[in-house]
Amino acid sequence: MIIKKFAVGPLETNAYIVGDEATRQAIVIDPGDEPDIILDVIRSEGLKVNAIVCTHAHFDHIGAAGDIKEVTGAKIVLHNEDIETYELAKDQAALWGYSVDDLPQPDSYLSEGDELKIGNMNLKVLHTPGHSRGSICLFGEGILIAGDTIFQGSVGRTDFPGGSIEELRKSFRRLIDLPDDTKVLSGHGPETTIGREKVANFFISEL
């Protein structure tokens, strides 16, 4: 498996490339900014990007999706419950003092239980609302790509429109039931494991 991580933009959002070494098929996850850095790696690794996956539609996770699509031809996909947030990303960014270009409409939507095929690998879509209505995680091949649902020692905030502490509790409980050795790749900060978060995440007390 190929996993490339990039901390991009002023909010240091983690963007990822996940690819299959054998087939060179890949997806890009949460390209929030600095598309040239991501595209340089796609070219240098000889990857064919089939999808641009948005774990949720906050501007810092989607800002460069249009640039990546323009060069690679990959489809932009996200959960349909985040489409309103996606369409308002430019305004949302402006409220924070940042700029985001106009984004193309998503090509399709992801739902609970869908599978993303990346060459010989498969990642399953988990709908994990709480940080936003349409937040998703991708699980498989020993990894969890978690967006802003869970971080090392913490969880995503719920005070944005569409956030819900009650839904986040349900999503968090679901994630910590995954195998302990699952590697967690979050939307911000360092990687962790499910086993670590079962004992060290402050949000355990919320359950």
- Give residue-wise pLDDT tens across range 21-52: 999 999 999 999 999 999 999 999 999 999 99
Query: For residue range 57-81, what is the model confidence (pLDDT) as tens digits?
Result: 999 999 999 999 999 999 999 999 9
| Residue 119 pLDDT exceeds 90 | yes
pLDDT at residue 198, as a whole number:
96
Provide the pLDDT for residue 42. Answer: 98
**CATH number, domain with residue 11:** 3.60.15.10
- What's residue 67's pLDDT? 96
Question: What's the domain count of the chain?
Answer: 1
Local confidence band at 124 (pLDDT 50, 70, 90 cut-offs): very high
CB atoms within 10 A of CB 161: 10
143-147 β-sheet, strand order: 115-118, 121-127, 136-140, 143-147, 183-186, 192-193
Average pLDDT, integer, range 68-97: 95
Mean pLDDT of the chain: 96
pLDDT for the residue numbered 8: 97
* Number of helical H runs and strand E runs in the chain: 7, 14
pLDDT at position 99, please? Answer: 86
pLDDT at 21: 96
Q: Check residue 2 and give its pLDDT.
A: 97
Q: Could you tell me the residue range of the domain that residue 64 belongs to? A: 2-206
Nearest to 136 by CA among 160, 109, 117, 105: 109
pTM value is 0.95
| Banded pLDDT at 206 (limits 50, 70, 90) | confident
